[in-house]
Structure 1
């Protein structure tokens, strides 16, 4: 690593390793470091590059991915994750596994095709034994099965704190799917039952969700009333139907 980047790198490690991480400071340092990596030709490495520089560049990008997750910035995470792919594929066998590589290897939100492409490049034994990869694999299977309770419980079984952010994002999507089913299947539901079905631990969160969905809440009766969509009364054009039927009958008579 260039001598002028070494102090910034050390400062980034300190800011990231502090408890809690100083995310604002990390972001500021990362911006400077990425410019330095571009100038050094290791942000997008090609050909023979010093392995020490590659390792440092990969660690910087991985910290950037973590900072993005902890900042709830998914687009930023996607950019860091994409930049890391060169290090995970082209230089996979040259670089030693770092402290962050396994945890980021399994995080690819809302990109199922990319996720499967990543899995295809991995040994089946690695998928089975590595908890950082096994966790998202299980999540996808449970989603396909509709085993939403397993997805919810998986939050507490996450192999790293950052995974919980993605499980929470999945739960938002799952809740909306369940809510749409409830609206179609029921006219109303007791608050307690709605909270259970939607995986809410307290009534306050349920009421906020109900307000967002436009549901009516009957606090006296402890129930949620669903608005039925598409049930507007339709006027049947009786006269036109009768006239059309008579005309159709006359045409049939002429044919016969």
Structure 2
């Protein structure tokens, strides 16, 4: 059974995590708890660990994973998820199901999408618990990233944009916003190549912006010229690259090749 000090810190962490503005309080509590868990040998548990100790540690790591996303700290989420993998795989048959498991697995899937790690996404998808395949894929926390991946492959960016409002948990919106940033840059590159200029309103629609100020800020970041009088965006023209073809060398090489062929014949 966890010590009284560990239990007290754990209860304090849960109160801070559930409070409206408790993110700042969670950081030192998580740091203290991880030190205590490491000293107790629970961060890397063995088969002799007690069931209640494993459940206790798993809950702390799950809170840490959610806290990481709420504070926009993706590397921290990666570390917590790596530590949770032991509990979600090696100890699955020993531990009772966790209500936070599928939300965290889904967050990891959509994180892989934001990093364009499509192969890892499918590998992780195939390694999900297969108690009931249909049930797993219909789970809202898994179904959401699966749909987002399909829409990305289809180029259905409007559906990805709408996925933010369909997110099964608030933490998912952070990753969808990150995806939209990548998508906007891809669309912007296409606009630069296809148009000399665009009306401000049309650019906002294509880039999924809801107000002009966001379009103007984005345009300035891309180095575009915004004409506020005509309300148009002029894309920076790129000079065509001139490739010099070494004509004389090519002609000489072809003639030499022809002479060698004649000698062979």
Deviations 1:32-66 (A, max 9, x none): 00011111111111222111111111111111111
Tell me which residue corresponds to 1:189: 198
Q: Which runs of 5 or more residues in structure 1 are unaligned?
A: none
Question: Map of 1:93-104 to 2, 5 A cutoff?
Answer: 93-104=93-104
Question: Map of 1:102-181 to 2, 5 A cutoff?
Answer: 102-108=102-108, 109=111, 110=115, 111-121=117-127, 122-123=129-130, 124-181=133-190
Q: Distance in 2 between matches of 1:221 and 1:56?
A: 62
Question: Do 1:42 and 1:57's aligned partners in 2 also have CA atoms closer than 8 Å?
Answer: yes
The CA deviation at 1:143 is: 0.6
Deviations 1:135-190 (A, max 9, x none): 01111111111110000000000000000000000000000011111111111111
Q: Is 1:11 aligned with 2:12? A: yes
What's the TM-score, normalizing by structure 1? 0.89
Match of 2:223 among 214, 222, 229: 214
Question: Do 1:184 and 1:228's aligned partners in 2 also have CA atoms closer than 8 Å?
Answer: no
Change (3 A) 1:51 1:114: farther
Change (3 A) 1:126 1:252: closer
The CA deviation at 1:120 is: 1.2
Change (3 A) 1:236 1:99: closer
The CA deviation at 1:94 is: 1.8
| Deviating more after overlay: 71-80 vs 106-115 | 106-115
Tell me which residue corresponds to 1:229: 238
Q: Which runs of 5 or more residues in structure 2 are unaligned?
A: none
The CA deviation at 1:125 is: 1.4
Question: Map of 1:82-101 to 2, 5 A cutoff?
Answer: 82-101=82-101
What's the TM-score, normalizing by structure 2? 0.86
Question: Map of 1:54-93 to 2, 5 A cutoff?
Answer: 54-93=54-93
CA RMSD of aligned residues (A): 2.5
Q: Distance in 2 between matches of 1:13 and 1:59?
A: 10
The CA deviation at 1:235 is: 9.5
Change (3 A) 1:247 1:116: closer
Change (3 A) 1:192 1:91: same
Tell me which residue corresponds to 1:2: 3
Tell me which residue corresponds to 1:50: 50
Aligned residues: 251
The CA deviation at 1:72 is: 0.6
The CA deviation at 1:102 is: 1.8
